Every structure is written in structure tokens, then in C-alpha cells.
Amino acid sequence: MANDEDEVLTAMIRTGEQYREALLQEREVFVGGERVADVTKYAPFRRPIESFVAQYDAKHSAELHDVLTWTDPDAGTFDISFLIPKSHDELRAKGAAFAEFAKLSYGCLGRGPESMAALMAGLEESCEWFEQWGEGNHQKVLDYCHYVRDNDLFVTHALGNPQSDRSKQSHQQDNPYLHLKLKEERDDGIVIRGAKQLATAAPFADEVIVFPNGRTFGPGDEEYCLCFAVPTTASGLKMMCREPLVMDDCLKIYDHPFSSRYEEIDALLVFDDVFVPWDRVFFHNNLFAANNMRFMTSVAAFSGHLSTRRAAIRSSLTVAAAMELCKSVKTADFPNVGELLGRIAALQKALEALVFRAEEDPRVAENGTYFVNPDALTASGLLYPDFYTTMLETIKRTGAAGLMLTPTQADFSGEAAEFAETYFAGADGMRGSDRVQIAKLAWDLVGGPIAQRMNHYERFYIGEPMFVGNFFSKSVELNEGRELFERVIKEGKESQE
Ligand SMILES: Cc1cc2nc3c(=O)[nH]c(=O)nc-3n(C[C@H](O)[C@H](O)[C@H](O)COP(=O)(O)OP(=O)(O)OC[C@H]3O[C@@H](n4cnc5c(N)ncnc54)[C@H](O)[C@@H]3O)c2cc1C
């Protein structure tokens, strides 16, 4: 039983029930033309909320409490994702926790509470950077990060502008308030109007943070350069959700192991004259800060660490599923199929090697913070989308008709159960119901309702690959290669003399 001291220290970690209760606060969520009265009771949201509830509860479980949480003598006990690692072991502990968080949802929930907690740790790590944009700004950022950490809040983020017309800057759009813009400065804060995207899991979150996602703003866009946070219940904030990919909250886990539970939904956020008090405004009207925040703060590095761990978990399951699928009908023994499987296994090992390099060859900043190796992190983020797509393609090519011809769990207990068990059977005496379960799992990774969205998510979760790749081409460390290059150039010149 917990003693008094334990009770005080664990007060910062919410239970699933406390999280669910917070969702009852009024918020403006729109789906299919209607306002959702209670997100906890809305069928397409019920199972995903259960999944997030389970994540909060996991932090209290005997098995995972010590892995997923961290106790600081001054701050108490909190989700380890909020930790700023000051030793190599702390960095490793975060990596191990990120993997466990990912396993809870088989890597399907890209933007769960721990994901934004990791980002908040990066924000806190960089709080000094904000001081140059206004006196006291570093304290505002610090206070906000601690508020989120100490209340174990679920944050969503919306960094991009609506696509509207990408050939024009924000201030050149037909409607000046299409992209989120400063409308009014007041003594007590600012009023903002316009839209931001794309906030995954917004209806399930407590808070939303907005900051620019790359070098997207130009002269004339100053009033669009905003970095702030508000509660998702803020007056005037409207969450316009895309069409849910799964409307039914009764899908069987056997039939749809991932789609039945992990539709994390995405939303456009409309700020219809939302007031933001000054203590929640981290900078505004600042082109330089807006275009450089991503590259000059620790936000991307800290959230990237989590994403890289999650991605490697998701792909490990995908490769294993491909192999089991082929084993179930013994196509795995054909050398051509074996080669395809071997190739995706190699991609998986390359991803795992990047995770290992990222954590085992860290960079230590002057302030003592441990960062994952930046090159390994970015390489993983840039390569993963294509690696993952190749894995999915391999499942499609090798699974062939077996992926399509899948009855339901009910068929194995219904009137024709005997026929189903017999004629859907696999190799080596595998029962029909066992073989079909593997095929359904594989299809839910590749072509089920949320599979396509996941594939799209994997391509864009690091942000616009153009910015990331371009930045990497300038920042990557290639000393050995450059030295060799210089040497052979020198040899060439000397041979002319
Ligand atoms: C499933 C999913 C979930 C997401 N979740 C989140 C989230 O939780 N929070 C969040 O903030 N974002 C989220 N995003 C958004 C994601 O970060 C963006 O999709 C990504 O940054 C790319 O931006 P965009 O979609 O606006 O594409 P665009 O910027 O519109 O780009 C479209 C195409 O045009 C090209 N292009 C655009 N502008 C230029 C230019 N100036 N010069 C040359 N080429 C150009 C791009 O290279 C690209 O090929 C999510 C996206 C997806 C798909």
C-alpha cells in the first residue's frame, strides 16, 4: 500500500478515469456537420478514448509504473516523457519508456499524451531561447511546461496553415484571416482569428499548443507568426474533424485488431476570436522566431526521439506479421518470397540500428542535457516512410488473395463453422480460424480503415520532408567522407604538378 509520501508524489499522474472526466468539459467539436455533445459518448470516439484511458492507467500499473514514470526529488512523480535527460542513463530510460508506450497501441497512436509530453520537455529545455523575444518569456514557457507536466495533461498541436493557396504567403490569401492571425492586442493578452492544422487527437486533448513548423513565413506575414497555448475548451475554438474512418464502436478485435481501437482522428482548428492571455503567448509578430523555432530549439529533437522509437515498434510488428502470414500458407519457403521478407527484415534492422546509434552516441549540451544523436534521428525520420511503405507493399505482394478472402470471427462459430475451419485452413494443420486471424491482422496493417491513414501519417509525422531533408543536407556530419574527398582532390592536383 502506498504511504502518505507516495500519495503526494504520485498526485501528478492522472488515472484514466480522471482523464476521461476532464473530457466532459464543454468543447466545440464538429463531425459530419453536427456538434458532438459529449465526446466520451460519441461512438467513433469511444474506443480511441478507451485506448488513451488505458495509457494513463498503464502509468499506475505495477508492471509499467517504474518504466513510464520518473520521480524527481523536487518536482515529484511525473510521466517520464516530460523528463529532460541529464545523464546517459536518463536518456536510455526515456527511450525504453517510449518503446513501452508504443507497444500499448502497437504503435498506432502517434499523438497520444506521451508524444506531446516529449515535445513539452523539448520546449522546457529551450525555455531560455524565448527570453530574447520578450522579457519574462522564458518564465512563461517554463511555467506552462510545468503546468502541463504537473497536471499530466494531454496536449495536441497544430503547426501548419490550411493549404488554401500554397503559392501565396499567408497575408496574400484572399481572406486575411484564413490563416491564423493576430486580430487585436489588449492589455491582458491577444485575440486571434483564423485556422491552423492538422491537430491529431484534438477532441481528446486538454490543451493545444500552436507554433510554426518550418520556414514558411515571409515579409508581410508578421501577424501570422504566433506561438501560444490555450485549453481545448477555450471560448471560440472550434475543432472541425475529418470524417471518422471507423464509425462503429463494436468492431471485433479479432476482425480488426487496430481499426477497432486506434482511430485517433484529425482536426482543423478554427480560432474564432479566441483570447490568449499574455502568460500563454510565447512570442508573436516575429518572423525570425517563427521561421527558426523548429531548427533552434530542442522541440524537434525531443519529440523525434519518441517518434523514432514508436516507428521502430510499429515496423517490427509489420515485418513479423509479413513473415507469419507467409508461414501460414508456406509461401515463406519459396526463395523469391524469402528474399522479399529478408529485405524488409533488413530495413527493420537498419531502423533498429539508427535507434541504437541515436541513444548510444548522444550529444551532451553545455547545460548538461543529453540529446539523441541528431544525424541518426533525422536519418530515421527521413528513411522510415519509404521503409514502412516497402514493408506494406511486401505484405500485399506476398499475401495476395489471402488478404482479401477473410471471413469474420462469427463465421467460425456460425452455421458453416465446420466448413470455415476446414477450407480456410493453412499449412501444417493450421486451423482456418487461426490462419484467417493472421490474414486479418495483416490486412488491418495494410488496407483496413486506419491502415491508409497510418501510412500517410508515417510519411508526414516529421513535418514537411522538404524542410527536414533540406536542413539535413546542410547539417549532417560527414567528416570522414569529406576528408577522403579532399585527399583525392589533392592527389589529383599534385599529380598535375
Ligand atoms: C495523418 C496526419 C497527421 C498529422 N498530424 C499532425 C499534428 O498532430 N500536428 C500538426 O501540427 N501537424 C500534423 N500533420 C501535418 C503534417 O505536419 C504536414 O502534413 C506536413 O508538415 C506537410 O505539410 P502540408 O500537409 O501542409 O503540405 P504542404 O505544405 O501543402 O505540401 C504539399 C506539397 O507541396 C510541396 N510544397 C508546399 N509548399 C512548397 C513550397 N513553398 N515550395 C516547394 N514545394 C512546396 C510540398 O513539398 C508537398 O509535396 C499531420 C499530417 C498527417 C497527414
Mean pLDDT value across residues 28-50: 97
Q: Are strands 237-241 and 28-31 parallel, antiparallel or unpaired?
A: parallel
Residue 113 and residue 206: Cα distance in Å, rounded?
Answer: 10
Confidence of residue 9 (pLDDT cuts 50, 70, 90): very low
Nearest atom (ligand 1) to Cα of 467 = 47
pLDDT at 13 over 90: yes
Residue 76 and residue 69: Cα distance in Å, rounded?
Answer: 10
Any atom of ligand 1 within 6 Å of the Cβ of 167 = no
Say what percent of the chain tops pLDDT 90: 92
Please check whether residues 285 and 418 belong to one and the same domain: no
* 234 within domain boundaries: yes
Residue 268 and residue 358: Cα distance in Å, rounded?
Answer: 33
Q: Which three cell numbers stand for residue 141?
A: 514557457
Any atom of ligand 1 within 6 Å of the Cβ of 198 = yes
Please check whether residues 417 and 431 belong to one and the same domain: yes
Residue from 356, 234, 304 nearest 463 by CA: 304
CA atoms within 13 A on the CB side of 312: 25
Looking at residue 209, which CATH number applies to its domain?
2.40.110.10
* 2 within domain boundaries: no
* Among candidate residues 295, 330, 356, the one where a domain is terminated: 295
Concatenating the DSSP letter of every residue in 108-172 gives: --TTSHHHHHHHHHHHHHTGGGGGGGSTTHHHHHHHHHHHHHHTT--EEE--BPP-S-TTS-GGG
- In 361-478, alpha helices (H): 374-399, 401-404, 417-423, 432-446, 451-460, 465-475
Any atom of ligand 1 within 6 Å of the Cβ of 158 = yes
Please check whether residues 326 and 413 belong to one and the same domain: yes
Looking at residue 60, its pLDDT comes to: 97
Any atom of ligand 1 within 6 Å of the Cβ of 202 = no
* 20 within domain boundaries: yes
* 497 within domain boundaries: no
Residue from 18, 16, 28 nearest 59 by CA: 16
Mean pLDDT value across residues 297-311: 97
Q: How many CB atoms lie within 10 A of CB 87?
A: 13
Any atom of ligand 1 within 6 Å of the Cβ of 175 = no
Q: Are strands 226-231 and 69-72 parallel, antiparallel or unpaired?
A: unpaired
Mean of per-residue pLDDT scores for the chain? 95
Q: Decide if 207 contacts 229 (C-beta within 8 A).
A: yes
Any atom of ligand 1 within 6 Å of the Cβ of 456 = yes
Residue 149 and residue 333: Cα distance in Å, rounded?
Answer: 51
Looking at residue 47, which CATH number applies to its domain?
1.10.3140.10
Mean pLDDT value across residues 397-421: 96
Cα 466 to ligand 1 centre (Å): 9
Domain ranges, residue 311: 299-483
- Counting the structural domains of the chain, the total is 3
Please check whether residues 125 and 188 belong to one and the same domain: no
Q: Which three cell numbers stand for residue 197?
A: 492544422
Condensed to tens digits (0 to 9), the pLDDT of residues 187-244 reads: 999 999 999 999 999 999 999 999 998 768 999 999 999 999 999 999 999 999 999 9
Confidence of residue 77 (pLDDT cuts 50, 70, 90): very high
Mean pLDDT value across residues 159-163: 95
ipTM > 0.85 (yes/no): yes
Please check whether residues 340 and 251 belong to one and the same domain: no
Between CA 92 and CA 362, with CA 63 as vertex, the angle to 5 degrees is 5
* Among candidate residues 235, 261, 295, the one where a domain is terminated: 295
Nearest atom (ligand 1) to Cα of 167 = 41
With the C-alpha atoms ordered 52, 54, 57, 61, is the resulting torsion angle positive or negative? negative
* 1 within domain boundaries: no
Who contacts 23 (Cβ-Cβ below 8 Å, separation ≥6)? Answer: 39, 40, 49, 204
Please check whether residues 128 and 168 belong to one and the same domain: no
Condensed to tens digits (0 to 9), the pLDDT of residues 419-430 reads: 999 999 999 999
Mean pLDDT value across residues 430-452: 96
* Among candidate residues 295, 325, 351, the one where a domain is terminated: 295
With the C-alpha atoms ordered 125, 127, 464, 98, is the resulting torsion angle positive or negative? positive
Instruction: Quote the distance between the C-alpha of residue 357 and its chain's center.
Output: 21
Any atom of ligand 1 within 6 Å of the Cβ of 440 = no
* 455 within domain boundaries: yes
Residue from 379, 435, 378, 429 nearest 407 by CA: 435
Instruction: Give the three-state DSSP class for 354.
Output: helix
Cα 243 to ligand 1 centre (Å): 19
Cα 164 to ligand 1 centre (Å): 12
Any atom of ligand 1 within 6 Å of the Cβ of 179 = no
Any atom of ligand 1 within 6 Å of the Cβ of 450 = no
Residue from 147, 81, 90 nearest 115 by CA: 81
Amino acid at 100: E
Residue 273 and residue 255: Cα distance in Å, rounded?
Answer: 45
Looking at residue 11, its pLDDT comes to: 53
Please check whether residues 359 and 374 belong to one and the same domain: yes
- Whose Cα sits closest to atom 50 in ligand 1? 198
Q: What is the dihedral of CA 27, 33, 37, 40, to 10 degrees?
A: -80
Condensed to tens digits (0 to 9), the pLDDT of residues 325-350 reads: 999 999 999 999 999 999 999 999 99
* 495 within domain boundaries: no
Please check whether residues 415 and 313 belong to one and the same domain: yes
Residue 205 and residue 43: Cα distance in Å, rounded?
Answer: 17
Any atom of ligand 1 within 6 Å of the Cβ of 163 = yes
Please check whether residues 456 and 318 belong to one and the same domain: yes
Say what percent of the chain tops pLDDT 70: 98
Looking at residue 406, which CATH number applies to its domain?
1.20.140.10
Looking at residue 327, its pLDDT comes to: 98
